[in-house]
């Protein structure tokens, strides 16, 4: 049976009236670094602030612990 380890990252959004702006460059940087280390994106979602605005973006990764 495969065994996994998990990693969660949280990126804060900025701005109030724009509904939360995300620094896509920072997200790409995190994802590329994790991908090089064998992490695979499993899920990503936002946390609500108010009136449809996003407070944070949460991304969950997994990688195999090996046999």
Q: Judging by beta carbons within 10 Å of its beta carbon (0-12, 13-18, 19+), is residue 61 exposed, middle or buried? A: buried
Mean pLDDT confidence for 13-25 = 69
Residues constituting the chain: 67
| Domain residue extents for the chain | 4-64
Q: What is the dihedral of CA 8, 61, 32, 64, to 10 degrees?
A: 130
Higher pLDDT, 52 or 24: 24
**Whether residue 21 has pLDDT greater than 70:** yes
Between CA 17 and CA 14 the distance in angstroms is 10
pTM assigned to the model: 0.74
| Consecutive H or E run containing 24 | helix 24-36
* pLDDT confidence bin for 25, thresholds 50/70/90: confident
């Amino acid at each position: 049976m495969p065994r996994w380890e998990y990693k969660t990252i949280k990126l804060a959004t900025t701005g109030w009236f724009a509904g939360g702006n995300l620094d896509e460059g920072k997200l790409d940087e995190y994802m590329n670094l994790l991908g090089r280390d064998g992490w695979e994106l499993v899920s990503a979602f936002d946390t609500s602030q108010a009136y449809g605005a996003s407070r944070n973006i949460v991304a969950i990764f997994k990688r195999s612990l090996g046999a």
